[in-house]
Amino acid sequence: MRINRLRHVAVSLTLAIATALAASGWTQTRREIKIPDVPGYQVLKFDLHMHTVFSDGNVWPTVRVKEAWCEGLDGISITDHIEYLPHRDDVAPNFNRPYEIARPEADRLGLMLFRGAEITRSMPPGHLNAIFLEDVDQLKVEKWEDAVRAAFEQKAFIFWNHPGWKGQQPDGVARWYDEHTLLLEKGWLHGIEMVNEDEYYPEAHRWALEHNLAMLGNSDVHEPIAMAYAALEGKRRPIDLILAKEKTPEAVKEALFAGRTVVYWRNFLMGKAEYLAPIFEQSISMEDPSAKIAPKGRVNFQIHNASEIDYELELAGPVEQFDAPKSLTLAADRTVLLSVQSQNAEAKGKVRLEIPYVVKNLKIAPDAGLPVTLKMTVEFIEKK
């Protein structure tokens, strides 16, 4: 009798603890990133640069996984510093532990997780991330060249972090040094952060184009993500969009080495035109791209944008015999009216209408937006 009662108490306690854990734990709600796939590729969402208590971050590795899941990411890499360990008296230095601790949580939530580290040296060459590592310990060597070689020998994907970070370039301007030429020549540099935290480096954007490096934008977050990016107010961290042939770590690695990436930062997408154009095309649909109007009449086309990017269009040239808006914002998750006016009183028959725009916030270079053409058909009818 007494034993039974005790058992009952124990069961109740277990239930109470489980309930309390579930309730006090975390939101368990995921906010998907609405950027569509494109023909031939899945557009996967990653953050490949972040810290935990195992270097100078302030969260436990499993929290990084949960945050990423909540924010709609497909995967992350935890990249704690190898050479900077301010918590070493409280958290035993162990370069492979962040990955090992985070791995089961990533598996539970179906997120990809890549073993990474930040090779943290003064400029030049500055800070470099290596991901897809097998053993981070091998990178703990004196000379930076040896650390990068060790990463390369593990077939890591290596990228240059925050080239214009004010901690190393007080004027915020990124500079290319002989050390970076050496990295390129050895095949030891595969990508570059054009965006880090909330900074954009146009020089890095140009170098990515010039040297065919994967374009990256990462959070480099040290605090809980919601504190760093006001995620609760809908603000996002910078995100790497990776165009992968399938949703597997191998396919993501292949895409990174092939440079099929787009940086998603604030309301910008930055990348090569060949990747930005299909993302735009897959985002946009027109309710009915053909219309009947009277000569000198006006017509509205309804354009829906299924993505979470507000596309900011600017007219790129005159349209023969028609008046089209000089600027037009295709708002995220909205349908917008494109109002077009015929200028020709004598117009007859069917006319193919092609309106050239530049999408200002889809950057194919630091100073250039993506050219697009909106295509419609107009059939003129007699005025009644």
Q: Which lies closer to Zn ion via its Cβ, residue 127 or residue 272?
A: 127
Work out how close the CB of 52 gets to Zn ion at its nearest, in angstroms, rounded to a whole number: 11
Measured between alpha carbons, how far is 102 from 105 in angstroms, rounded to an integer? 6
Torsion of CA 338, 342, 348, 349, to 10 degrees: -10
**Residues 280-339 within binding reach of Zn ion (CB under 5 A):** none
| Nearest partner of 75 among 109, 101, 51, judged by Cα | 109
Measured between alpha carbons, how far is 144 from 120 in angstroms, rounded to an integer? 9
| Nearest partner of 267 among 358, 202, 331, 207, judged by Cα | 331
Work out how close the CB of 125 gets to Zn ion at its nearest, in angstroms, rounded to a whole number: 12
Q: Which residue's Cβ lies closest to Zn ion?
A: 127
220 touches Zn ion (CB under 5 A)? yes
Cβ 165 vs Cβ 121: under 8 Å: no
Region of 120-128, 238-246, 259-267, 322-330 interacting with Zn ion (CB under 5 A): 120-128
Work out how close the CB of 37 gets to Zn ion at its nearest, in angstroms, rounded to a whole number: 30
Beta bridge partners of 114: 77
Work out how close the CB of 203 gets to Zn ion at its nearest, in angstroms, rounded to a whole number: 17
Measured between alpha carbons, how far is 212 from 173 in angstroms, rounded to an integer? 20
127 touches Zn ion (CB under 5 A)? yes
**Residues 155-184 within binding reach of Zn ion (CB under 5 A):** 161
Work out how close the CB of 219 gets to Zn ion at its nearest, in angstroms, rounded to a whole number: 9
Region of 35-43, 67-75, 115-123, 244-252 interacting with Zn ion (CB under 5 A): 115-123
Region of 37-45, 117-125, 197-205, 316-324 interacting with Zn ion (CB under 5 A): 117-125
**Number of residues counted as binding Zn ion (CB under 5 A):** 4
Q: Which lies closer to Zn ion via its Cβ, residue 208 or residue 372?
A: 208
Binding residues (CB under 5 A) for Zn ion: these are: 118, 127, 161, 220
